[in-house]
Every structure is written in C-alpha cells, then in structure tokens.
C-alpha cells in the first residue's frame, strides 16, 4: 500500500503533508505508518516508516527533524540537520534541506509557511500546548527568521473532533477560570460531561494571533481507525499502546 498524504493548498508552495497510517511497515496495533520512536513498536519498523516519510519529503533520513514533545509552548529554531531531539513542541526554520515534523495521535499537528519569506514551522498542539501558547510561540519564532505574521498560512491537520472528545467538569472549569469566553469551545454532553472542540480552540488562537490564513483539514482521528491513530480510541479499546501519525514540511518545492 502506498503512502497516503493529506495536503493543503495554502501550503502548496512547499512540500508538506499530514501522513495517514496507510503505507507503513508496522503490524499489530501499530499496523501502518507508525512514526513514534517512543512507542513499543519494533524499532526496525519505525525506522522503515520514517525513512519512507523522509523520502516522500525529499530529504535524507537524518534531516527529518523532530522534538521530544512535552505539551509545552517551547519552540526550537533549526539551522542544520542533526539527530538531537530537544524537549519542545514546535520547530521553525529558514534552512533548505531539512523537514520539520511533529507526531500526534489526537492532538493537533499544525504546519506553517510564509512563502514570501521562505520560513516554515511545525507545532504539536494538544489542549495544554494550545492553551499555554505554543501556536503563538511558533509565529513569534517565524517572525524572528523574517516571516510576517499576516503572510503566514497555518493548517491544523487530523486531530480529535468535538463529538469524540468527552471531558469532565474539572477540565471545563480549568478553561473557564483562564478565560470565561472559552465556554464557546464546549458543548453539553451526557452525565455532566462536556464535549471539547480542540480544533476550534486552535483556530481561535491562530486567528486571534493575526495569522494570515488558518484552516483545519476536518479529519477526526478518533472516528476513522483505517486512516488514523488515536490515543483515546486505543484507551477505550484497552489496547496496550498506539501508533503516532506524522506531519512534516520542508522548503523543498511541492510535487
């Protein structure tokens, strides 16, 4: 099976993609393109999967850059290929020949590009990272490299949708305490629970920050097990582990 890559027109000057689980070498609960080096999947299978992604992105395997994701607002500026995985949740670069990547399995993978300035970014934004400002931090770091905020396109890839994201009242209260206006991202669920709209929060943060264009691909990771990994679905199914999707972008031309 060949790789399946979801792309966005607003990022089309550069090679990029939100990769589904299709076309990978992993098996079992990881069946498909599991790119999570921190998973319990076979190391050889993950390496094959990541090499396939690097090839699709037109870079060498060691130029497929990633970070050790910790649900933070921290951003790394990449200036050359290296094998380090610093603790952070976003990366930016103006250096050709490297691909920025983030992993996800319900959280938001977000790709950024300023085609005029030749600056790109990638962020992993779960509810905590989005609330703490990882998207705004990524925009700030891109501006440091010469990007202009109103020229930046940002695309949220496959993530968990509101209908699948049930949370308790404590979660709701934490958000409302931070800003009462955040109530707009919650709908009433059953038994005192709420349904939380993660991509709506991401879109709100991006637009409020003044990004030139923001969109969500409108794919729900929980609802489509044939195409996407989902931490929450794996938990509900009492599976021992789960695969990680990868999203990546490079300054190389789109194909």
Domain-embedded: residue 152: yes
Identify whether the C-beta of residue 117 lies closer than 8 Å to the C-beta of residue 136. Answer: no
Closest CA to 106 of 36, 210, 54, 3: 36
- Per-residue confidence in pLDDT tens, the chain, 255 aa: 799 999 999 999 999 999 999 999 999 999 999 999 999 999 999 999 999 999 999 999 999 999 999 999 999 999 999 888 999 999 999 999 999 999 999 999 999 999 999 999 999 999 999 999 999 999 999 999 999 999 999 999 999 999 999 999 999 999 999 999 999 999 999 999 999 999 999 999 999 999 999 999 999 999 999 999 999 999 999 999 999 999 999 999 987
Identify the three-state secondary structure at position 108: strand
Return the pLDDT at 84: 85
The first and second tokens of residue 6, run together, are 């979801």
In this structure, the strands spanning 166-167 and 245-253 are unpaired
Domain-embedded: residue 202: no
Provide the domain count of the chain: 1
Domain-embedded: residue 61: yes
Phi, psi at 89, each rounded to 5°: -135, 10
Range of the domain at 104: 5-158+213-253
Whole-angstrom Cα distance, residue 75 to residue 204? Answer: 20
Domain-embedded: residue 50: yes
Return the pLDDT at 214: 98
DSSP 119-174: EEEEEEE-HHHHHHTHHHHHHHHHHHTT--GGG-EEEE-SB--GGG-EE-HHHHHH
In the numeric block, the tokens 């396939």 are attached to 52
Domain-embedded: residue 84: yes
Radius of gyration over every alpha carbon of the chain, rounded to an integer in angstroms: 17
Return the pLDDT at 255: 76
Closest CA to 39 of 105, 125, 88: 105
For the whole prediction, is pTM greater than 0.85? yes
Compute CA 228 distance to the chain's CA centroid, rounded to the nearest angstrom. Answer: 13
Domain-embedded: residue 28: yes
The first and second tokens of residue 84, run together, are 């380090």
The Cα angle at residue 26 between residues 22 and 217, in degrees rounded to 5: 30
Domain-embedded: residue 90: yes
Residue 152 to residues 45, 112, 117, 132, 211, Cα–Cα distance (Å): 35, 7, 9, 21, 6
CATH of the domain at 141: 3.60.140.10
Domain-embedded: residue 111: yes
Residue 13's Cβ-side half-sphere holds a number of Cα atoms within 13 Å equal to 13
């Amino acid at each position: 099976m060949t790789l399946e890559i979801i792309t966005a027109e607003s990022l089309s000057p550069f090679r990029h993609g939100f990769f589904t689980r299709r076309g990978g070498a992993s098996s079992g609960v990881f069946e498909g393109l599991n790119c999570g080096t921190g998973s319990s999947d076979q190391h050889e299978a993950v390496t094959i999967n990541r090499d396939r992604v690097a090839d699709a992105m037109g870079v060498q395997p060691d130029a497929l850059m990633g970070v050790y994701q910790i649900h933070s607002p921290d951003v790394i500026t990449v200036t050359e290929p290296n094998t380090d995985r610093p603790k952070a949740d976003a990366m930016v670069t103006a250096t050709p020949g490297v691909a920025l990547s983030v992993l996800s399995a319900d959280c938001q993978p977000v790709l950024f590009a300023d085609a005029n300035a030749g600056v790109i970014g990638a962020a992993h934004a779960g509810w905590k990272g989005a609330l703490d400002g990882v998207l705004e931090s990524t925009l700030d770091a891109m501006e440091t490299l010469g990007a202009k905020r109103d020229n930046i396109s940002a695309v949220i890839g496959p993530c968990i949708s509101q209908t699948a994201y049930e949370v308790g009242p404590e979660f709701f209260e934490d958000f409302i305490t931070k800003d009462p206006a955040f109530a707009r991202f919650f709908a009433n669920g059953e038994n005192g629970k709420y349904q939380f709209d993660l991509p709506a929060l991401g879109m709100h943060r991006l637009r409020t920050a003044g990004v030139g264009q923001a969109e969500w691909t409108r794919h729900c990771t929980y609802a489509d097990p044939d195409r996407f990994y989902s931490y929450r679905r794996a938990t509900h199914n009492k599976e021992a582990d789960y695969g990680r999707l990868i999203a990546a972008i490079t300054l190389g031309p789109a194909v």
